[in-house]
Amino acid sequence: MEIPKHRHCLNCGISIPPDQVFCSEKCKIEYMQRRKRLMRTQYMFLAIAVLIILYYIITIALKM
C-alpha cells in the first residue's frame, strides 16, 4: 500500500496536500505568533549574553 504524497501542517501536524503549508488560516496565525515569541526570546537571550561578555571584557580591561 502506497501512501499518497502529502505534507504535515507546521502548526498542528495533520496531513495536508503537498502544495499547502498550513491546514487553515487559524493554524498559520498560531504558528506565526509562536514563532514571533520564540524569536523575541532568542533575541533577549543573545542580548543578555552580549551584555555579560561585555561586562567581563570591561572588568578585565580596567584591572590592567
3: confidence class by pLDDT, cuts 50, 70, 90: confident
> Nearest to residue 15, comparing CAs of 25, 26, 3?
3
Backbone phi, then psi, for 16, in 5-degree steps?
A: -135, 165
C-beta separation of 11 from 31 below 8 A:
yes
36: confidence class by pLDDT, cuts 50, 70, 90: very high
Residues 24, 26, 28, 31, Cα dihedral to 10°: -130
Residue range 48-64, pLDDT digits in tens? 999 999 999 999 988 87
pTM as predicted: 0.73
Residue range 19-30, pLDDT digits in tens? 999 999 999 999
The ranges assigned to domains in the chain are 24-63
21-to-6, 8, 17, 38, 42 alpha-carbon distances in Å:
10, 7, 8, 19, 24
